[in-house]
Amino acid sequence: MAKPDEPGYYKQEDLLSVDLQPPRTGWMDTEVDFRPGNFIYPGKAKNLQVLDLPNAREWAVTDIDWQLPEAWQKTILDGMAERLGKYRSFKLFMDTCVRCGACADKCHFFIGSGDPKNMPVLRAELLRSIYRKDFTALGKVFGKMAGGRKLTEEVIKEWFYYFYQCTECRRCSVFCPFGIDTAEITMMGRELLGLLGLYVNWVIEPVANCYKFGNHLAIQPHGLVDTLEFMVGDIEEATGIKVDLPINKKGAEILFFTPSGDFVADPGIYTCMAYMVLFHELGIDYTWSTYASDGGNFGLFTSHEMMKRLNAKIYSEAERLGVKWILGGECGHMWRVINQYMDTMNGPADFLEIPKSMVTGTVFERASSTKVVHIMEFLADIIHHGKLKLDP
C-alpha cells in the first residue's frame, strides 16, 4: 500500500474531482481537517537547533497539543506589531483589500482543491482577521462584526496549514487591482509561525543544510568538486572536448553560481553541463565556488532574516575571490531573492563593477545595482550579436 508521500497513494479520478461547493459553516468556524497526504511534515528538532530557532521539539501535525511555548499569543502579537512597523508593504496589505475577488480563482491551490481558504483573498484574511481584532479600533470594539477574531490555537493550526499551501508564486498579485502581494502575506504568516518553532521540514532541513554546507543538499566542498569533475568527464565522453573547471579561482572575471539542484539530478545536471560547455566555447574567465555553492535560497520560504543569512555568502565570496561581477544560473526563487532583496539585504556591493559582457561589450545597466546577471540575459545578448554558432 502506497504512503501519502508516494504518487501511487493518489487516484487520478480523486485528483480530478474538485468540489467547489463551500462548506456550510462560515470560514471562521470551519476547522482545519488534517488528513494523511494533505499536510506537510513539521520541521525536525535537529534542524531548528542547527539554526538556533525557538521551541525545537519533535511533534506531529496530527497531535492535539502542538507544544506551543509559554505566552505564545503575546509572542505572535508582538511579532506582528514589530513587522507592521518594519514592513510598509505588510501594513498596506493588511489595510487595503476590498474583497473584489479578482484574485480568487488565480491560485493553483484553490483551483486544485476547491477549498475557499486557498483563495488568495481568504488566505490573507486568515492573518488580516487577527490584525483587525488587535491592531484596529473597529476590530477592537466590534470584533467579529468588523471582521476580527481572537488568536487561538485553531487559528495557528489554520495558518500552518494554509500558509504552507502557498508557493509564494505571486500569480495572484498580478491580477489584484491594488497590487496586493499575497506571497508577502504568506511570508509574514510563516515568520510569525516560526516564532513558535512551527516550520515544515522540507523547507527547514534544506535551510539547515545551507547554513552548514553552503547548499541545500549538504554537498561538502570536496563532494562538489567531485561532482563537477564527473560532469567534465561526461562532457568529454560525449563530445571529445575537455572543458575547464575553475573552482575558487581568485581574480577570475566573474563568479558563477546556480541552484544546487543543478548538481544532482536530471534535468539540472544537463543544464549544469551546458553552462560549462558554453563558458568553455566562449573562453570566459569565470569560477565556481565551493563556499557560495547554492544560489537557491529556502530562506525565502522561512523568514527575511533567514533569507539574508543564506544569501550573505554570495557577495562575501565575490569579494574574497576578487571577481568583477556575478553571473547566475536559472532558478525562480533564487532570482526573486536577487532581484528583490539581495542588494538592500547584503549590499551594496560597491566593490563589484557594473556587469559588462566580455564577449559582446554590452553593459547590463539593469544589473547596475545588484551586479548580478541572469544566464539567459547574458546568452541572449551573445546570440543577438552573432557570437555563437548555433546548429539550427
Residues that bind ligand SF4 in the complex, under the rule CB under 6 A: 97-103, 106-107, 109, 120-121, 123, 166-172, 175-176, 178, 180, 182-183, 186
Contact partners, residue 170, CB within 8 Å, separation at least 6: 181, 182, 183
CB of 175 to ligand SF4, least distance (A): 6
C-alpha cell belonging to residue 98: 476590498
Q: Which is nearer to ligand SF4, 147 or 355 (CB)?
A: 147
For the bound state, the minimum distance from the C-beta of residue 300 to ligand SF4, rounded and expressed in Å, comes to: 12
Q: How far is the CB of 332 from ligand SF4 (least distance, A)?
A: 12
Q: How far is CA 53 from the centre of its chain?
A: 18
d(CA 20, CA 14): 14
SS3 24: coil
For ligand SF4, the closer of residues 110 and 286 by Cβ is 110
Nearer Cβ to ligand SF4 (98/376): 98
Measured between alpha carbons, how far is 389 from 384 in angstroms, rounded to an integer? 11
Decide if 360 contacts 381 (C-beta within 8 A).
yes
227 closest CA partner among 209, 239, 215: 215
Burial 377-392 (b: 16+ CB within 10 A, else e): bbbebbeeeeeeeeee
The minimum distance between CB 119 and ligand SF4, in angstroms, equals: 8
Judged by CB, which is closer to ligand SF4: 102, or 278?
102
Yes or no: say if 260 and 216 are a contact pair by the CB < 8 Å rule. yes
Closer CB to ligand SF4, 109 or 288, in the complex = 109
| φ, ψ at 260 (rounded to 5°) | -70, -15
Tell me the closest approach of the beta carbon of residue 252 to ligand SF4, in angstroms: 37
Closest to ligand SF4 by CB, 166 vs 321, is 166
CB of 188 to ligand SF4, least distance (A): 13
Residue 200: beta bridge partners? 42
